[in-house]
Amino acid sequence: MKTVVVAISGGIAAYKSAEIVSRLKKTGVNVHCIMTKNACEFVAPLTFETLSNNPVITDMFNRESPWEVEHISLAKKADVFVIAPATANVIGKLAHGVADDMLTTTAMAVTSKILIAPAMNVAMYKSDAVKENIATLKKRGYHFIGPERGLQACGDNDIGRMSEPVDIVGKVKELLDMSNILEGKKIIVTAGPTVEKIDPVRYITNHSSGKMGYAIAEAAFDAGAEVTLVTGPTNIMPPNGVLVIKIKSTKQMYDAVSDEFAYCDALIAAAAPADFKPKITHDQKIKKDKGEYTLELSGNPDVALDMGIKKTNQKIIIFAAESENVIENAKSKLKKKNADMIVANDITQKGAGFAGDTNIASIIKKDGTVQSLDIMSKKELSGIIIEELSNLFKDS
Per CB under 6 A, 87 contacts ligand FMN: yes
Binding residue for ligand FMN, selected from 33, 114, 119, 360, defined by CB under 6 A: 119
Per CB under 6 A, 11 contacts ligand FMN: yes
Specify the DSSP element, H or E, that contains 187.
strand 186-191
**DSSP 3-state of 234:** coil
Nearer to ligand FMN, 28 or 85 (CB): 85
Nearer to ligand FMN, 12 or 245 (CB): 12
> What's the min distance (Å) between Cβ of 95 and ligand FMN?
13
Residues 362, 329 contacting (CB under 8 angstroms): no
- Calculate ∠ Cα 335-337-343, nearest 5°: 75
DSSP letters spanning 308-371: HHH-SS-EEEEEEEESSSHHHHHHHHHHHTT-SEEEEEETTSTT-SSSSSEE-EEEEETT--EE
> CB neighbours (10 Å) of residue 294?
4
Per CB under 6 A, 127 contacts ligand FMN: no
Nearer to ligand FMN, 162 or 317 (CB): 162
Per CB under 6 A, 12 contacts ligand FMN: yes
> What's the min distance (Å) between Cβ of 89 and ligand FMN?
4
Nearer to ligand FMN, 5 or 303 (CB): 5
**DSSP 3-state of 117:** strand
Per CB under 6 A, 89 contacts ligand FMN: yes
Q: How far apart are CA 392 and CA 85, in angstroms?
A: 36
- Which residues have C-beta within 8 Å of that of residue 126, sequence separation ≥ 6? 159
> What's the min distance (Å) between Cβ of 54 and ligand FMN?
20
Kindly indicate which of the ranges 5-13, 43-51, 224-232, 377-385 contains the residues binding ligand FMN, using the contact rule CB under 6 A: 5-13
Residues 137, 91 contacting (CB under 8 angstroms): yes
Per CB under 6 A, 163 contacts ligand FMN: no
> What's the min distance (Å) between Cβ of 85 and ligand FMN?
6
Backbone angles phi, psi at 300, to 5 degrees: -95, 160
One of 33, 40, 154, 264 is an active-site residue; which one? 154
Q: How far apart are CA 391 and CA 396, in angstroms?
A: 9
Per CB under 6 A, 106 contacts ligand FMN: no
Per CB under 6 A, 88 contacts ligand FMN: yes
Radius of gyration of the chain (CA): 25
What are all long-range contacts of 280-283, with beta carbons under 8 Å and residues at least 24 apart?
A: 281/197, 281/198, 281/199, 282/198, 282/199, 282/200, 283/199, 283/200
Nearer to ligand FMN, 114 or 326 (CB): 114
> What's the min distance (Å) between Cβ of 244 and ligand FMN?
42
Sign of the torsion formed by the C-alpha atoms of 110, 114, 119 and 120: positive
Kindly indicate which of the ranges 6-14, 133-141, 240-248, 315-323 contains the residues binding ligand FMN, using the contact rule CB under 6 A: 6-14
Kindly indicate which of the ranges 4-12, 105-113, 171-179, 265-273 contains the residues binding ligand FMN, using the contact rule CB under 6 A: 4-12
Q: Is 33 a catalytic residue?
A: no
Nearer to ligand FMN, 39 or 304 (CB): 39
Q: Give, as ranges, the residues between 24 and 53 that touch ligand FMN (CB under 6 A).
A: 36, 38-39
> CB neighbours (10 Å) of residue 112?
16
Per CB under 6 A, 90 contacts ligand FMN: yes
**DSSP 3-state of 188:** strand
Per CB under 6 A, 82 contacts ligand FMN: no
Per CB under 6 A, 120 contacts ligand FMN: yes
Residues 393, 185 contacting (CB under 8 angstroms): yes
Count interface residues toward ligand FMN (CB under 6 A).
15
Nearer to ligand FMN, 14 or 376 (CB): 14
Strand-pair category, 315-322 with 266-269: parallel
Nearer to ligand FMN, 93 or 173 (CB): 93
Per CB under 6 A, 10 contacts ligand FMN: yes
Per CB under 6 A, 272 contacts ligand FMN: no
Query: Which residues carry out catalysis?
Result: 154
Q: Which residues lie near ligand FMN (CB under 6 A)?
A: 9-13, 36, 38-39, 87-90, 119-120, 124
